Amino acid sequence: MTAATAPFFWRDPALAFIEARTIADGRKVTYSRHAHEHFSIGAITTGRSYYHYGTQTFEIDAGTVVLMNPGDVHACNPIDNEPWSYQMLYIDTPWLTDLQHQLGFSTDQGYRPFNTPYVRDPVLYRGLLELYRVLVDTQAEHLQKQSALVSYFTEVQQRLNPADTPVREVNHKLERAAEYIRAQCTQALKLEDICLAAELSPSYLIRAFKQYYGLTPHAFLINQRIQFARAQLRQGELIADVALAAGFADQAHFQRAFKQHFAATPGQYRDLLKPSANNPHWPPATRPLNG
């Protein structure tokens, strides 16, 4: 992967609730189906790709804005090795939830999910590209970045109203299974332990869990471990320590799983989020991943 095609990360400790990423050549970056704890929104800037969202697959192209609620299973990958590129923003859910409350949504409820996985809205598309430009601009003042963030996501909320509470029937036993996995994700879990916690048979759990969450229990477990590891890496922890703490059998297994979820090795992700020696506010928004 050359510097011209490598991913670029941006993060500012003063705006710790948001990260940004640019992928110049999406053919070099492929993902397994995964989910995040945060809200994600992105713009396809050139070409086209497959967008796997839950059980559906769409073909999307330049001008499309994609949205992923926390927990939504998704993946974007190239079509027949065609070039494509995109820019993404990752927003911590509590920040967006607070903005929703400020805009009049009931404080009795938490985050209100969006009901569309993607839109072709020129206003939101151009706005997202402009917001990205402001965020990575090392000359932009902090207040300018804050104002741009609130302005854009207010526009998103006004144009794409949050969905009503999902109509699917809540399966409390499956949710107990998921909660058990979340709570014990760094441990070596056994199927019988999950079944015991959820009061479900193994056959039902395996079949129904994927239908309900879009991931098998094992894939859900790996996803939780990766989210745990991501938080540790953001704190600058050593990769070997993170791999062990997250419950991976070895560092190589951790490296492979992390790259499948974030299209970067743990070392690349951690190092690109470090403040530089000469600038504690970490300005270099276009530092390439090499390796």
Q: What is the mean pLDDT of each run of 10 residues along the chain (291 residues)?
A: 62 92 81 87 94 90 95 87 91 92 82 93 97 92 90 90 56 93 91 90 85 87 93 90 92 91 86 52 37 32
Domains, the chain, with CATH or none: 8-159 (2.60.120.280), 172-272 (1.10.10.60)
Containing H/E element for 53? strand 39-53
Distance CA 55, CA 89 (A): 23
Q: Phi and psi for 236 in degrees, rounded to 5?
A: 85, 15
Distance CA 151, CA 144 (A): 10
- Residues 6+ away with beta carbon under 8 Å from 153: 91, 96, 99
Distance of CA 204 to the CA centre of its chain: 29
Distance CA 247, CA 240 (A): 11
| Residue 280 confidence (pLDDT) | 40
Q: Confirm if 27 and 37 have CB atoms less than 8 A apart.
A: no
| Residue 168 confidence (pLDDT) | 57
| Residue 3 confidence (pLDDT) | 45
Hey, what are 276's tokens?
């530089």
Half-sphere exposure of 49 (CA within 13 A, CB side): 31
